Structure 1
Amino acid sequence: MTPITVLAGKRVALFGLGGSGLATARALKAGGADVAAFDDNQGSRDKATAEGISVVDLASADWSGFAAFILSPGVPLTHPEPHWTVGKAKAAGVEIIGDIELFFRERATIAPSAPVVCITGTNGKSTTTALIAHVLRSAGRDVQMGGNIGAAVLTLEPPSDSRIHVIECSSYQIDLAPSLAPTVGIQMNLTPDHLDRHGDFEAYGAIKERLVASADIAVIGVDDEASKQMARRRAASGRPLVKISGEQPLDEGVFAGITANQGKLDTRIVQVRDGKPRVVANLAGIGSLRGSHNAQNAAAAFAACDALGLSAEEIAAGFRSYPGLAHRMEEIGRIGRVVFINDSKATNADSTEKALTSFRDIFWILGGKAKDGGIESLTRYFPNIAKAYLIGAASDLFAATFDEDGRVTYERAGTLAVAVADATRDALAQAGEGEIAVLLSPACASFDQFPNFEVRGDAFRALVKALPGFVGFGAA
């Protein structure tokens, strides 16, 4: 835990007693703050009370006595409309902040030079966060990883000059962190997402940009126009910038060079410094870093670890041993030449695009609760699809896209269990040589059939592991 001493002796309001909110309340209490916490859910209030955290009805509380209001990131700050507690705080002139802000204020007090890497972006931030943490650990560094991935940031050990924090930051968290100032700030990419919470794409992008604008060293992807503009603004500021790309050569920065080698794609990470390029890592054969999207993730990880003083050899060794994240292009195992890929985290078309570029013979399981735009943007990758299997509420919408395009054979599987069985049957019957993929990459939210993408991915993994002849990776 990181006790929050910067509010010691002060009365603090807190709303939201889920995982990160409860962790924040504990950290504030441990640091000596007088916490008045509340949540709309009775079960959450009861759990906090059982831990000795003071639960107060903030609707009737005297807000003039609060030094700060800590809002959980899942609670609306501005859109679609501010939560009622936000109105109370503003009326009383109480600042509204989140757990990331508390972490950075504590760092500024106890260890202002402590190294912190913060990662944001629409897609790829979780893999990049986990990859950076893994590379640093494999090189013998003391690493704490959390934030929007895994552990809440205030459950981590406190900042120190000998410890590196690697923190994934969502737009919601950045919006509540005015003092955010990482050693290395990474902006991966930007596509429309969470617009219901930020109003429009421009506001969403402006929030993301705060992370790299305040960083000592900014690492910015330049494979989309919005992020490219961020890089231009950073360059104009004269402060350190490392551009990264998973798609194009750069005159300066870190990029992925992808070439065909005997029917497979070799991905080399190239660093260009002072106009001189050198290959610093090769991702060929690293299943956990397959695809152009992971090439950008690896480029970002290389740039961050290089900035923290690791050698190219240490970083490349870390890449080779990286196990990958569950539900993100997770290689579960295979039956013969059929490999099973769990990409349940792909909840929009942009995420699924990365998966469709990673294979050439795909039996694609997709569907769920559709997001705006459906899969229209993916039609250029349809030649890679051997057959598609539609599940969930989006079946009619996606079938219409396939019918209009005319290049994809599909079936309405309805459920994930039927889709896995039928895709496996068809993949095993496919003639030819080379790798075939049974790919769960839904391009949809899960909420029509599953409570979240993790449960959906776990269900896929269980179904696949029960198939006759299945061999998991790493099995003898």
Structure 2
Amino acid sequence: MILIPGIAKKKIGVYGLGATGLATCEALSASGAEVYAWDDKEEARAKTVNTRYAAEHPKAWPWEDMRSLALSPGVPLTHPTPHPVVKKAHQAGVEVIGDIEFFARAVNALPPRERPRIIAVTGSNGKSTTTALIGHLLKECGRESIIGGNIGKPVLLLPPLEAFRTYVLELSSFQLDLAKTLRANTAILLNLSPDHIDRHGDMEGYAAAKRRIFLNQTADDTAIIGVDDPWSQGICAKLMSAAAQRVTPISAEGALGSGVFALNARLYYSLGERTGEAGDISGVPSLRGQHNWQNASAALAAAIAEGVAPNIAAKAMDRYPGLPHRMEIVAKKDAVTFVNDSKATNADAASRALKSYADIFWIAGGKAKEGGVVSLRPLMDKVRGVYLIGEAARDFEGQLAGAAPCFQCGDLPTAVARAARDAALSGLEAPVVLLSPACASYDQFRNFEERGEVFRKLANQTETIDGEAA
């Protein structure tokens, strides 16, 4: 656990008692703060029984004496409208921050020589893989790397701050909105595509939240930015013009005069006088596809910024095991491969999996995000059937009409059974049943992890008899 200095006996509210909120309560309480906690869900409040921060409605909080409100990332800060507890905090003159800000303050309170290294990663897609890959590379090279934030453990439950540790943090736009003083020694923005627009107002608001990852960087720090989309290109150009920190562009779509890039799964670097090929990741199953080449380029750039030799970092990628729910092969039945890409919660993420396979029997749908799947129509030449589930099913069928055969399945078990049967009977050499929903999961599942685990179970329960799924 990470303790926060300077808050003993201070009154701090925590709103939202999911994993992050409860971790924040525990760390604040252990640091001596007087914690006031609440969540609208009774089951969440029940987790605070017999603790020093038993849930109490914000109406009873001593707002006139409150120092801070720690807002969980899932609670609206500005859009579509500020949550009532945020409005109350503003009225009372109470700062609204998140767990990442408490982490930053704990780091900033240390003398410079005692501070750990911090690598922060954000982006619309690929941030979990990139975060895990960087952590893997550093460990393979003998460094003590700690992964957390929006992946794994909440940041305040990570091991205590030590100068010999490197914290590799995945940060969402919601977490960045609530962080003010975080300084990342290496900050990474992978890409930007429309996502969470309801929470940021528009694309400009979303991009502004993501750009906050570069706040507080100095000339000693490194900003790594993907340049394969227009929004990220614009941010990269502005940072390079401002010259407040070192800027390393990355790309998986073409060679760069300066930066780190991938061409056909080969990684290259051109950083001042240091240029060359770092290695070939074409044989790494967990880094298949052009989107993973971008992730690998970012991880290589981060490793180089942390003093790791390029070829050593690239070689360590050979042993990267990958993450669940990200283009994860979960079963093989005769010729049919089942791929779990449940983490693909928007069209841009799904496009990456669709580009990585041929002869796809695609399971899609759930709770739709802005834009739907119209942008995926050009990729339907590789899709043999679309098996639709959830709230978005009818809309998706309309958006894909004429591009690929669509089948209304309703739920995931029905979709897996039908897709598996059709794949087995297709006569194709290597058919793939791909769950890459291009949707959030909340209409039928608690989260994308549960959706992926259900798919894994269904895929492994599928039996094939004489080439036919039963």
TM-score, normalised relative to structure 2: 0.93
* Contact in 2 for aligned 1:375/1:443 (Cα 8 Å): yes
1:244 aligns with 2:250: yes
* Contact in 2 for aligned 1:287/1:331 (Cα 8 Å): no
1:52-105 deviations in whole A, cap 9, x for unaligned?
A: 225443213332212222111211111111122222221222211110000010
Which of 140, 154, 157 is residue 156 of structure 2 equivalent to? 154
> SS in structure 1 opposite 2:46?
helix
> SS in structure 2 opposite 1:59?
helix
Compute the displacement of 1:219 (Å).
0.5
Structure 2 equivalent of residue 16 of structure 1: 16
1:320-348 deviations in whole A, cap 9, x for unaligned?
A: 11111111111113234432110111111
Note the residue ranges of structure 2 that are not aligned, 5 or more in a row: 466-470
Structure 1 equivalent of residue 368 of structure 2: 370
Q: 1:96 to 1:426 in 2, by over 3 A?
A: same
Kindly report structure 1 stretches of 4+ aligned residues shifted beyond 6 Å. none
* Contact in 1 for aligned 2:389/2:410 (Cα 8 Å): yes
| Partner Cα separation in structure 2 for residue 276 and residue 311 of structure 1 | 11
Structure 1 equivalent of residue 426 of structure 2: 430
> Partner letter of residue 226 of structure 2?
G
| Partner Cα separation in structure 2 for residue 381 and residue 390 of structure 1 | 16
| Partner Cα separation in structure 2 for residue 450 and residue 94 of structure 1 | 36
* Contact in 1 for aligned 2:359/2:428 (Cα 8 Å): no
TM-score, normalised relative to structure 1: 0.92
Structure 2 equivalent of residue 450 of structure 1: 445
| Partner Cα separation in structure 2 for residue 58 and residue 344 of structure 1 | 36
Question: Which moved further from structure 2: 374-383 or 444-453?
Answer: 444-453
1:316 aligns with 2:314: yes
Structure 2 equivalent of residue 202 of structure 1: 204
> SS in structure 1 opposite 2:47?
helix
| Partner Cα separation in structure 1 for residue 396 and residue 363 of structure 2 | 11
Q: 1:334 to 1:15 in 2, by over 3 A?
A: same
1:231 aligns with 2:226: no
1:217 aligns with 2:226: no
1:254 aligns with 2:252: no
* Contact in 1 for aligned 2:181/2:215 (Cα 8 Å): no
Q: 1:447 to 1:38 in 2, by over 3 A?
A: closer
Q: 1:408 to 1:108 in 2, by over 3 A?
A: same
* Contact in 2 for aligned 1:288/1:331 (Cα 8 Å): no
Question: Which moved further from structure 2: 296-305 or 74-83?
Answer: 74-83
* Contact in 1 for aligned 2:195/2:370 (Cα 8 Å): no
Q: 1:157 to 1:410 in 2, by over 3 A?
A: same
Structure 2 equivalent of residue 87 of structure 1: 87
> SS in structure 2 opposite 1:331?
strand
1:168-200 deviations in whole A, cap 9, x for unaligned?
A: 111111111110211110011111111111111
> Partner letter of residue 58 of structure 2?
L
> Partner letter of residue 30 of structure 1?
A
1:17-51 deviations in whole A, cap 9, x for unaligned?
A: 22111111111111122222233333333322322
Q: 1:45 to 1:367 in 2, by over 3 A?
A: closer
Structure 2 equivalent of residue 261 of structure 1: none
| Partner Cα separation in structure 2 for residue 287 and residue 333 of structure 1 | 14
| Partner Cα separation in structure 2 for residue 114 and residue 337 of structure 1 | 49
Structure 1 equivalent of residue 468 of structure 2: none
* Contact in 1 for aligned 2:127/2:190 (Cα 8 Å): yes
Q: Quote the sequence identity (%).
A: 45
| Partner Cα separation in structure 1 for residue 403 and residue 17 of structure 2 | 49
| Partner Cα separation in structure 2 for residue 30 and residue 432 of structure 1 | 59
Compute the displacement of 1:465 (Å).
1.0
| Partner Cα separation in structure 2 for residue 244 and residue 367 of structure 1 | 32
* Contact in 2 for aligned 1:365/1:390 (Cα 8 Å): yes
Q: 1:456 to 1:45 in 2, by over 3 A?
A: closer
Structure 1 equivalent of residue 297 of structure 2: 299
Compute the displacement of 1:273 (Å).
2.2
Which of 342, 355, 360 is residue 358 of structure 2 equivalent to? 360
> Partner letter of residue 107 of structure 2?
R
Which of 409, 414, 417 is residue 413 of structure 2 equivalent to? 417
Q: 1:449 to 1:41 in 2, by over 3 A?
A: closer
> Partner letter of residue 269 of structure 1?
L
RMSD of Structure 2 on Structure 1 (CA): 1.9
Q: 1:402 to 1:110 in 2, by over 3 A?
A: same
| Partner Cα separation in structure 1 for residue 72 and residue 389 of structure 2 | 33
* Contact in 2 for aligned 1:5/1:33 (Cα 8 Å): no
| Partner Cα separation in structure 1 for residue 178 and residue 383 of structure 2 | 42
| Partner Cα separation in structure 2 for residue 442 and residue 327 of structure 1 | 11
| Partner Cα separation in structure 2 for residue 418 and residue 102 of structure 1 | 46
1:130 aligns with 2:132: yes
* Contact in 1 for aligned 2:227/2:233 (Cα 8 Å): yes
Number of residue pairs matched by the alignment: 459
> SS in structure 1 opposite 2:270?
strand
Compute the displacement of 1:218 (Å).
0.4
Note the residue ranges of structure 1 that are not aligned, 5 or more in a row: 259-266, 471-476
